[in-house]
Amino acid sequence: MIQDELSKALANVKTPNDVEQIRIRYLGRKGIITNLAKETDFGKLSPEEKKDFGQKLNRLKNFATDRIQEALNRLTAQNTATATVQTHRLIDLTVPGSAGSLGALHPISMVQMELEEIFEGMGFTVLDSPEAETEFNNFESINIPSDHPARDMQDTFWLKNDMVLRTHTSSNQVRALKRFGAPFRGIFPGRCFRYESIDPSHENTFYQCEGLMVDRGISVANLIGVMKTLLSEMFKREVKVRLRPGFFPFVEPGFELDLNCLFCGGSGCPTCGDGWIELIPCGLTHPKVLEFGGIDPREFSGFAFGLGLTRLAMMKYGIRDIRYFNSGDVRFYEQFAPII
């Protein structure tokens, strides 16, 4: 009876203190087993009975002592096991790690890198170029003399040393021709600046990618061919384009190249309006520009284009506000990072 009760009680212990309470209840000074001896009137027992009682009592005490020790051992072992698991957990290699931030490329950088690859595939050189320019390179050399009204189209940041923050990447056309001569194929991606008041579609700092190809017998057909290849590869599908007349002093004839809207297929939608998106100003290089570059316009002809990189990134990623690009907000940049 007592053994059963004791075993049951010990089966439920959770802490060494629980075990101690049980020890006190059975073996303490006023414990159940201790009391058995106290309550028995030994005087009335025969020597045989005394011996028998004594032995039973001892067995009971031993049983209780052993079970209590066992219970204590069990608890200690459990604690050790838990402790071991906890220690191991600290170095558990199966637990997913906390990922560090990898950073992300700016959406304009991604578009620029893609463009460079496409043009390199067509034999174009990619040239780096300065952001602070001479007045000659930014204006004069591409047929915009100081009294030309086209200067008014570009509100310019002038520097104290009479240089300008380039208003477009066209500033590199003559520099490249002087340096490399003809035939020439190159693109000049880079940052440009204009004195603009900023709103969702205007920025004072934006990116363009200029292109120039000069060779014998270059015509509008070459221009259209290169532009269509570029856009098809960029948007990963066959595209339709159209040319409208456009005026730029450094090309003759000059065009606005429109892209047949990729969203509606040309039927008209809120993004494009009438089915066409004005995308790339371009044209055949003006003879004066070739001359400034030291190239004989009777022997060579060429085409040039000025792609708005910022504009292209907005189209490609569906970004509706240009101000995000220079915001420095990582939450914006991260959205366009390729998933690794």
| Window of 106-114, 181-189, 216-224, 300-308 that interacts with ligand DAH by CB under 6 A | 300-308
Among residues 67, 166, 168, 175, the one that binds ligand DAH under rule CB under 6 A: 168
Phi, psi of 44 (to 5 degrees): -85, -5
Among residues 13, 251, 290, 315, the one that binds ligand DAH under rule CB under 6 A: 251
β-bridge pairing 184-193 and 125-126: parallel
Q: What is the DSSP letter of 286?
A: P
Q: Determine if 107 is a binding residue for ligand DAH (CB under 6 A).
A: no
How many whole angstroms separate alpha carbon 53 and alpha carbon 41? 11
| Window of 89-97, 261-269, 279-287, 320-328 that interacts with ligand DAH by CB under 6 A | 279-287
Among residues 119, 193, 207, 248, the one that binds ligand DAH under rule CB under 6 A: 248
Q: What are 84's two structure tokens?
A: 């071991």
Report in angstroms how near the CB of residue 142 gets to ligand DAH at its nearest.
8
Q: Determine if 272 is a binding residue for ligand DAH (CB under 6 A).
A: no
Q: Determine if 282 is a binding residue for ligand DAH (CB under 6 A).
A: yes
Report in angstroms how near the CB of residue 321 gets to ligand DAH at its nearest.
21
Length of the chain: 340
Indicate the residue among 9 and 133 with the shorter CB distance to ligand DAH. Answer: 133
* Kind plus residue range of the DSSP H or E element containing 14: none
Q: Determine if 293 is a binding residue for ligand DAH (CB under 6 A).
A: no
β-bridge pairing 301-308 and 205-215: antiparallel
For residue 244, what are the β-bridge partners?
256
Q: Find how far residue 321's CA is from the centre of its chain.
A: 19
Using the structure block, give the residue that is written with the tokens 């520099």.
Answer: 175
Q: Determine if 206 is a binding residue for ligand DAH (CB under 6 A).
A: no
How many whole angstroms separate alpha carbon 148 and alpha carbon 248? 11
Report in angstroms how near the CB of residue 307 gets to ligand DAH at its nearest.
8
Q: What are 2's two structure tokens?
A: 């007592």
Contact set with ligand DAH (CB under 6 A): 168, 170, 210, 248, 251, 281-283, 304-306
